[in-house]
Amino acid sequence: MPGTSTVQNKADRLIGALGADCVRIGDAIDDRYRGDWSTTVGGTPAIQILPTTTADVATALRLCHEMRQPVVPQGGMTGVVGGATPVDGAVLLSMDRMHGIEQLDATAATMTVRAGTPLQTIQEAAERAGFLFSLDLGARGSCQIGGNIATNAGGNRVLRYGMTRALVLGLEAVLADGTVLPMLNTMTKNNTGMDVKQLFVGTEGTMGVITRTVLRLHPGIAGANTALVALPDFRSATHLLNHAQRALSGRVSAFELMWDDYYRRAVELGGARPPLAPGQPLYALIDMQGPAPDAEAERFEAVLEEALTQGWASDAAVAASQSDANDFWALRDCIADLLSQLAPTINFDVSVPIATIDTCVERMRAVMDSRFPDLVHMYFGHIGDSNIHCVVGPIPPDGDTEHAIEQACYDIVRDLSGSVSAEHGIGLHKRPWLEYSRTAEEIELMRTLKRTVDPHGIMNPGKVLTP
């Protein structure tokens, strides 16, 4: 970490330009900014900046660029790969004060918001106006939309609405040298050369800082038809998903798959009577949102009846109320509690081609059973978008075990032409495994783009790409 006098000199420059209320130094930085939801150990930050305007962000970055001062952008701190973790001597650029909805255009079905706005705030504002903002994940009350965009967050509704990237029409971003890019496009069609905003979507703050965004809204919903289905095998799951998509005109909004090892523990944790008994190989949570769920219930249930007739499903339970639906979803959403029970854990977030998902899970399970028989491992995922989650724990603190498990599982993913990160990003934690999913040529192009927009390498150094 730089000497105290050097840090104070830098802080004095920032205070002179931004005001004392925007700058914290040393012990005055709250502990919650010193690490995200991952177990990644970071460094000690020197200074924190809490801007309130885009102009503040531009000024802060311009000065840090001049001082060659590393900057770590921070949103809601809910990431799980260490992307917002401080590095030694860094300036933390927190977006906490840059929140609020600037405009909701009902005609165009768009919303313009500031980057520090919590996801749940956006969801609720859209709902009040008769719309749906479709991005949804468990951290909705804490995560911020700027962080969601910077990590290209996925969540529960990707099957129908796409990743965060598909929901961003425009954004405003600030480069490392303080240059503001006002790319607040509000139009679905704007085919004017390179889509520069994509430099900031999914790049985890390494290319600049997102300050405002224009979001795409969808028609509002009145509710959903929800079912929990027991399945005899993975092939049946794909048959059911494909049939449901055809029969319901592509309107399946969630198809969450839980292997029995996960489902059994979720049932034991909840303590309530499960809608279906444990013991089946797989369970699918199916959800179809719409404006008139009661009118569509017969069509939805016909899909389940066909699955039972064809043998794709061995049992099914349909939610008769919103309370039932909430109970069904509680089985899938209790992952945070399971993680705490098994801590410390490794949480794999990978994707492979849909046809090879079962192969991937079975190969991972075989590795764990043979090489790490004392550890719990369980599997679930959003199979309609190729995403598998695997939780392993409790991990012994020797370091070697964690690395060996990651090596074994990522080897399987690489062999199946998959991705080591489906939706969580790379950050610090997955950086050593990036080459498993991206070629050397791709990584070098990433480096070239990084050097172009951030020549001194001050933006979130060490994240995604090896320095």
> Residue 340 above 60 pLDDT?
yes
- Structure confidence at residue 138 as a pLDDT band (50, 70, 90): confident
User: Is residue 152 within 8 Å of residue 163, measured between CB atoms?
Assistant: yes
Residue ranges of the domains in the chain?
A: 4-97, 101-219, 223-333, 340-424
The pLDDT of residue 272 is 65
Query: Is the Cα torsion angle 246, 248, 249, 250 positive or negative in sign?
Result: negative
The continuous run of DSSP H or E covering 351 comes out as strand 346-351
The pLDDT of residue 158 is 96
Average pLDDT over residues 343-366: 97
The pLDDT of residue 446 is 98
Average pLDDT over residues 284-291: 96
The pLDDT of residue 3 is 56
Amino acid identity, position 443: I
- Structure confidence at residue 42 as a pLDDT band (50, 70, 90): confident
Question: What strands, in cross-sheet order, belong to the sheet with 101-105?
Answer: 101-105, 110-114, 209-216, 168-174, 180-183
Residue indicated by tokens 């209790």: 334
Q: State pLDDT tens for residues 384-443.
A: 999 999 999 999 999 899 999 999 999 999 999 999 999 999 999 999 999 999 999 999
Average pLDDT over residues 64-81: 97
The pLDDT of residue 387 is 97
CA distances from 319 to 80, 229, 285, 324 (A): 32, 11, 11, 5
Pairing label, strands 91-94, 71-74:
parallel
Domain 4-97, CATH among 3.40.50.720, 1.10.1200.10, 3.30.43.10, 3.40.50.2300: 3.30.43.10
The reply to whether 4-97 and 340-424 are identical in fold is no
Q: Tokens standing for 262?
A: 């996960």
Q: Measured between alpha carbons, how far is 77 from 365 in angstroms, rounded to an integer?
A: 31
- The yes or no reply on domain 101-219 and CATH 3.30.465.10 is yes
Q: State the average pLDDT for the chain.
A: 96
The pLDDT of residue 230 is 98
The pLDDT of residue 269 is 83
Average pLDDT over residues 40-65: 96
User: Is residue 185 within 8 Å of residue 112, measured between CB atoms?
Assistant: no
Q: State pLDDT tens for residues 90-102.
A: 999 999 999 999 9
% of the chain exceeding 70 in pLDDT? 99
Domain 223-333, CATH among 3.40.50.300, 3.30.70.2190, 3.30.1380.10, 3.20.20.70: 3.30.70.2190
Domain 340-424, CATH among 3.30.497.10, 3.40.50.1820, 3.30.565.10, 3.30.70.2740: 3.30.70.2740
% of the chain exceeding 90 in pLDDT? 93
Average pLDDT over residues 356-384: 97
- Structure confidence at residue 336 as a pLDDT band (50, 70, 90): confident
> Residue 2 above 60 pLDDT?
no
> Residue 105 above 90 pLDDT?
yes
DSSP codes, 169-233: EEEEEE-TTS-EEEE----S----S--GGGGTSSSTTSS-EEEEEEEE-EE--SEEEEEEEEESS
